[in-house]
Structure 1
């Protein structure tokens, strides 16, 4: 059967060698455009898709149709989730709910347990937020905690960044995992459960444990707190923030909204609500009989779109109204959440178009046949492909969407659990060794006041630890599930 499929593919789009060459040249075009000519990844992925289709022999009309089909499908399925997640995260920040979580957890920690608490804060804040947003939100907190505790900025900051980054690469509803789940048709509930199982020990190892050694290599004291400034760059440390009713205020994240903000219990319950709904759907799909009211109900509310929609609606009341925000302030917060993620949405959707182009050229069938006959672990192969694209482009999202498109045809041979592990292997590879072509590298460097070498010794090695530990845990899970 596979031989017949490959024969048909060769007859319509060229030989196996031609297909591989098309993919390699297409990926090279994307890499060069993004890294050398600083072209936006959306344009790079679009042009790369057309190059792949042209070299593979797809007719021009079919090439455009494939890209548009993949773009629209991904934008419709993943784009709505990204938008809802951004709204939720913005409301969490503007209401002071994020500050309340940080204040409560840090306030109950000793100096010895502080790095572990910071890892927990990073993971919890990172669950509903994009990495860059979480980083900007947490930096004043990291500075304040480091100054109050007398600990090195690296010893306090690295655990928080590890929590943020691990959530970004391994746990939905972040864009990368969502794209991989959509491309590989993985079960979101299973992926979420396994992602948390992988992320928790990964954060512990790459965060507090690694920070002990990184703080010896790079000992940086916390800078003066940012107070009363309006700088726009990382080095300026912006601190002015709209209050619950739209007014501006100054101070650090821990010093804002101490009078009117939602309680810790309400904030935590709101943050975990979509996760609980999605995990509930996964559990009833396994243990409950079809046709029961419980299963039908959780199958509906646990669908990612509905779960996040419910979370946003609930957050309007528990976070927005709970912080004293009026209707106008809440509407402004939700509106302001969308422009910053427009670029991410376009990149993700273009990645879906690139994925569909690879599928329609039958390249994936060729790779699937080679993997099945080679004995190479599919999980290891997925990680390596994501690592190579990550190193070349500097983008975790581009690495995820490209690797997912290449490996999509392999899932027909996998059960749901291993398909979810394939998503996690790609996610782990997508955060490998952040360096000078990654915007996150420069954000961390400037915020922490590090040299390039110091950033490599701390941030880059931390990212590598997350990637490698994540892969090891995924491979171990693959032996038992």
Structure 2
């Protein structure tokens, strides 16, 4: 469905010009405070929400109340999922399970297949882990594989980065997709299935295929670092010595990683194909509920990855405890994005956008992608781009089907990855790890992110033709 004609629930509280001005000033304040004043995105989103309400003429008390409701509902629905995902990823790293996946896949690949193997490794590691954690984990492996194979660091590294980045932007339970799913009331299981469907060809294009050309533009050899010794689960890995002596098996680790995916996709399939009152649908609906699926995965991982690698109960508890402090900022940004979304809805700005959309004939998917791209370019944050674009698009989705709403989430996710540059922390992280100049990083990492974004949009638009 390309055209949208609907009436959002909130009527405008002021004239069109005043509401447009309010939205533009609010978004401009968010962008400028993050990029120029270097204010934390949580505070920027909060100030932006208050600015929108004030300029639109919404009473201050109502603005604060609406922001609090949006903040609370988003934190309640998304926060626990992000926390459980962080716990699962930390156990995977600390137990040596991630290393087991990497070593098994790379060890069985021939020299010509190594870029494809590294893309698969990046995708599997990126499924449960945040991008930054996955990057730290994979860098020793990237260096070693590049040196021992004689291939360029770019030819090996870019496919792994593509797998990590595409999963981070398109597939739940990562924060961006989760907050978009919550804001747009999309079905998580359907979004997960479609996200994997879009991510796989996107990774192929932006990873191994793009790396062939990027390696010619930037022929960088791997450094001597990590040439001796074993790749570990990253800095501060709890129980590192134990996990190096006895890692969980590849099959057990892979089954544990895919467990929440299978449960959530099982729920989505049961909702489509099983009878409404059937026992199998009831069971799968309960097990595939996102919170339950991730909770089961963490509990199972404590046994299969934790105890299975020789970690004792104290070490497992310490690993889980250390997973939470690094995501505190992400949780606040995501929740504040929910508050900003609610402010936009309460002022009735969405009604104006919906009316304009109905008359414009533009694709909803394309509009969502462009909105995310603009915020991404301005702020450098994929998460801020996702939560802001989701807030803008939220009033436009009541008449979309389940599949179309999930594709809208993916369009926003693809837009949030567009052209990482100097205002993105990930840009500098990749640059320093790979030892590249700014120009070289733009030719490789930044262009790779752009290929992910554009190809992701293309695949979303192709799937939308079937909805």
Fold shared per TM-score above 0.5? yes
Contact 1:66 1:360 in 2 (8 A): yes
Residue 20 of structure 2 corresponds to residue 20 of structure 1: yes
State the match for 1:367 in structure 2. Answer: 353
1:26-425 aligned at under 5 Å gives the runs 26-226=26-226, 241-242=236-237, 244=239, 257-425=243-411
CA offset digits 1:29-74 (Å, max 9, x no partner):
0000000011000000000000001001110100000110000000
Q: Name the CA distance, whole Å, in 2 between partners of 1:383 and 1:312.
A: 33
Contact 2:136 2:234 in 1 (8 A): no
State the secondary structure of the residue aligned to 1:412: coil
Q: Name the CA distance, whole Å, in 1 between partners of 2:447 and 2:268.
A: 35
The 1:54/1:223 distance shift into structure 2, 3 A limit, reads same
Q: Name the CA distance, whole Å, in 2 between partners of 1:375 and 1:362.
A: 21
Contact 1:67 1:354 in 2 (8 A): yes
What is the count of residue pairs matched by the alignment? 461
1:455-466 aligned at under 5 Å gives the runs 455-466=441-452
Cα distance, 1:293 vs. partner? 1.2
1:436-447 aligned at under 5 Å gives the runs 436-447=422-433
- Using the TM superposition, name which of 383-392 and 13-22 deviates more: 13-22
Cα distance, 1:259 vs. partner? 2.5
Cα distance, 1:133 vs. partner? 0.8
Cα distance, 1:372 vs. partner? 1.2
Q: Name the CA distance, whole Å, in 2 between partners of 1:3 and 1:415.
A: 13
Contact 1:228 1:239 in 2 (8 A): no
Cα distance, 1:373 vs. partner? 1.3
Contact 1:26 1:48 in 2 (8 A): yes
Contact 2:96 2:233 in 1 (8 A): no
Cα distance, 1:374 vs. partner? 0.9
State the secondary structure of the residue aligned to 1:290: coil
State the secondary structure of the residue aligned to 1:459: helix
Cα distance, 1:121 vs. partner? 0.2
Cα distance, 1:9 vs. partner? 3.1
The 1:228/1:67 distance shift into structure 2, 3 A limit, reads farther
Q: Name the CA distance, whole Å, in 1 between partners of 2:322 and 2:7.
A: 52
Cα distance, 1:240 vs. partner? 5.1
Cα distance, 1:3 vs. partner? 10
Contact 1:146 1:153 in 2 (8 A): yes
Which structure has more relative contact order (CA 8 Å, sep 6+)? It is 2
Cα distance, 1:398 vs. partner? 0.4
Q: Name the CA distance, whole Å, in 2 between partners of 1:243 and 1:397.
A: 28
Cα distance, 1:258 vs. partner? 4.1
CA offset digits 1:149-208 (Å, max 9, x no partner):
111000000000000000011111110000000000001111111111110000000000
Q: Name the CA distance, whole Å, in 2 between partners of 1:197 and 1:141.
A: 27
Q: Name the CA distance, whole Å, in 2 between partners of 1:258 and 1:3.
A: 57
Q: Name the CA distance, whole Å, in 2 between partners of 1:301 and 1:123.
A: 24
CA offset digits 1:435-477 (Å, max 9, x no partner):
0000000000000000000000000000000000000110011
Q: Which runs of 5+ in 2 are unaligned?
A: none
State the secondary structure of the residue aligned to 2:11: helix
Contact 1:227 1:239 in 2 (8 A): no
CA offset digits 1:293-326 (Å, max 9, x no partner):
1111110110000000000000000000000000
Cα distance, 1:257 vs. partner? 3.8
Q: Name the CA distance, whole Å, in 2 between partners of 1:242 and 1:286.
A: 42
Q: Name the CA distance, whole Å, in 2 between partners of 1:389 and 1:270.
A: 36
Q: Which runs of 5+ in 1 are unaligned?
A: 230-236, 250-255
TM-score normalized by structure 1? Answer: 0.93
State the secondary structure of the residue aligned to 1:413: coil
State the secondary structure of the residue aligned to 1:433: coil
The 1:431/1:298 distance shift into structure 2, 3 A limit, reads same
Q: Name the CA distance, whole Å, in 2 between partners of 1:5 and 1:226.
A: 56
